[in-house]
Amino acid sequence: MIDQRYQMISEEIDAWIWESSSDGYFISASAQVQDIIGYSPAELVGKTFADLLAREILSITGITIHETGMAGKGARFEMFVPKGSYRRFVPESGSVSEQMQVPDFISQTHHNHTI
């Protein structure tokens, strides 16, 4: 938790003060976080900056991600990209990207669009 000296400072200034673990997870945050980025301190605990960034990117782009795996069988995520919100990448001849192979488990039937 933010110790008392930081608690006193955070109550007096209009700034977001947080404490994070050595691996980047929020441990605590001042109440001003709600006004600054829209999350309550409790909503941030256990998250990272990357978690916040991913949510923002999804909300801006309209991309949705759903977990469709079954408990005990592994994780599976399906991502939907709205039609017209993507570009097809065609690698230049001889580039490293051209040499990459698409895994067998990815097929046209897994896509919600036609290329």
CA nearest neighbour of 38 among 60, 55, 63: 55
Tokens of 115: 């290329």
pLDDT over 80 (residue 98) = no
Q: What is the pLDDT of residue 97?
A: 55
Burial status of residue 33 (CB atoms within 10 A of its CB: 0-12, 13-18, 19 or more): buried
pLDDT in tens, 31-85: 888 888 888 989 999 998 888 888 888 888 888 888 887 878 877 878 888 887 7
pLDDT over 60 (residue 3) = yes
Whole-angstrom Cα distance, residue 106 to residue 72? 22
pLDDT in tens, 24-33: 889 988 888 8
Q: What is the pLDDT of residue 55?
A: 80
Beta bridge partners of 38: none
pLDDT over 60 (residue 105) = no
pTM of the full structure: 0.50
